[in-house]
Amino acid sequence: MPGPTNGVAGRIEVSGLTKTFGQVRAVNNLSFSVEPGSVTGFLGPNGAGKTTTLRMLLGLVTPSAGVATIGGQRYNRLHNPMLTVGAVLEAASFHPGRSGRNHLRVYCAAAGLPSKRADEVLSMVGLAEAARRKVKGYSLGMRQRLGLAVAMLGDPQVLILDEPANGLDPAGIQWLRQFTQSLAQQGRTVLVSSHLLSEVEQTVDRVVILARGQLIKQGTVDELTAGAGESVVVRSPQADALGSALHQGGAQVTSTGPGTLQVVGLDAAAIGHQAFVAGVELHELRTVRSDLEDIFFQLTAEPGADGQPPPTSGPVPAGAFAQQSYSQQPYGQQQGGVN
């Protein structure tokens, strides 16, 4: 099969992609790229336009504007798509009365592949022992693996997976992580849409984040988390006195519950010293770095009435400690913190 006439083999390019359904603009001027040899997480809240974008990429939905290519070609221009792209969409369906092996053999026949390839991919995804069982007896996790087997039949350069971890147990999720990473190590392009952010952070090399049909951020996980900064969680039965001391020391202090503070601007050692000087007892002192989940929610927060992101619990205002009495109420309630 001749290679693409432009672009890098396996590279996904989305440029100015837009899709409107009636009065609703599901995807708006979206542009990003996915490189070979990497696992890229495709993230966004429900309704962000992820599935619509994947369907446009796979030729299942016609864009209103823009273009999406794989190796420089649109999906419908690929000579034999199954040999180039393997896809698992969330709405995959199977004939319930057909065995897993026979289901795959139908695809082999359609793509001109030898029937033995069905057994090879069943073994690859851990379904060899269930090959002769009817699909109606498969669990949701087994159906997910069968979908992956279909995607791998043509030994494709590009894998596009929409929520592939749905229905998998913890062992299955760990297997999926190793499976996708091994494909990337072979030089393949892997694009994974998922809502399991903690798992995505352990799996992917790069992320593309959407909200309201638009690109919000793309880059490596390290790039996104590097600028997020750190804070320190402090718990003390004398949180009011400690908060006052830390505020005077130049820190931003937020109440996150009775006796619990979140501190920005001083590290754990400096906070411990301030507590010692102030004669304050500490029950917890823990440094917290924003992870992908924190950053995701910050980036995709719905705007308020003024078009700005919704407010969160902010720093205690200057002078608040000196101006208020803390005789009876928990510290978080006095400062308007989240309890």
Distant-in-sequence, close-in-space partners of 164: CB < 8 Å, separation ≥ 6: 88, 144, 147, 148, 176, 180, 192, 194
Identify whether 5 is part of a domain: no
Pick the closest to residue 122 from 138, 95, 143, 146 (CA basis). Answer: 146
* Cβ-count burial 56-68 (b if 16+ within 10 Å, e if not): bbbbebebeebeb
List, for residues 140-191, the tens digit of each pLDDT value. 899 999 999 999 999 999 999 998 888 888 899 999 999 999 999 999 999 9
pLDDT of residue 291: 65
- With respect to residue 246, please indicate whether it lies within any of the assigned structural domains: yes
Point out the domain boundary residue: 184, 209, 226. Answer: 226
* DSSP per-residue string spanning 98-133: SBHHHHHHHHHHHHT--THHHHHHHHHTT-GGGTTS
Same domain, 179 and 279: no
- Residue 133 to residues 90, 169, 175, 294, Cα–Cα distance (Å): 22, 20, 22, 43
Q: Which domain holds residue 47?
A: 12-226
Q: In this structure, is residue 144 part of a structural domain?
A: yes
What gap in Å lies between CA 260 and CA 319, rounded to an integer?
19
Measured CA distances, 178 to 171, 181, 220 (Å): 11, 5, 19
Q: Which of 199, 226, 253 is the last residue of a domain?
A: 226
Residue of 70, 14, 43, 53 lying closest to 188 (CA atoms): 70
CATH code (residue 278)? 3.30.70.100
Cβ 285 vs Cβ 271: under 8 Å: yes
Tokens encoding 266: 């001083």
- Three-state DSSP class for residue 174: helix
Number of domains in the chain: 2
Q: Domain check: are 262 and 196 in the same one?
A: no
**H-type alpha helices, 186-309:** 197-203, 221-226, 239-248, 268-278, 292-300
Within 8 A by CB and 6+ apart from 257, the residues are 330, 332, 337, 338, 339
pLDDT for position 135: 93
User: Is residue 86 classed exposed, middle or buried when 0-12, 13-18 and 19+ CB atoms within 10 A define those classes?
Assistant: buried
Domain shared by 236 and 212, yes or no: no
Contact 146, 100 (CB under 8 A): yes
The token pair that represents 299 in the structure block: 């980036």
pLDDT of 64 reads: 97
pLDDT of residue 180: 95
> Is residue 87 in a domain?
yes
Last residue of a domain, one of 177, 200, 226: 226
The two tokens of residue 173 are: 């999720």
Average the pLDDT over each of 132-136, 286-290, 328-332 and give the range with the smallest value.
328-332
**Residue 91: what pLDDT?**
55
Q: Is residue 312's pLDDT more than 80?
A: no
Between the CA of residue 269 and those of 151, 165, 195, 231, 286, what are the distances in Å? Answer: 52, 40, 36, 12, 10
Q: Are 78 and 241 in contact (CB under 8 A)?
A: no
Residues 6+ apart with CB under 8 A from 32: 14, 208, 215, 218
Does position 334 have pLDDT exceeding 50, yes or no? no
Task: Give 287-313 as a DSSP string.
Answer: EEE--HHHHHHHHHPPP-TTSSPPP--
User: pLDDT tens-digit profile of 40-85?
Assistant: 999 988 888 999 999 999 999 999 999 999 999 999 999 889 999 9
- pLDDT for the residue 52: 94
Residue 80 shares a structural domain with residue 207: yes
**Which H or E element spans position 231?**
strand 230-235
218 and 238 in a common domain = no
> Is residue 7 assigned to a domain?
no
| Whether residues 175 and 218 fall in one domain | yes
Residues 143 and 76 both lie in one domain? yes
Residue 329, in any domain of the structure: yes
What are the structure tokens assigned to 103, written together?
């289901």
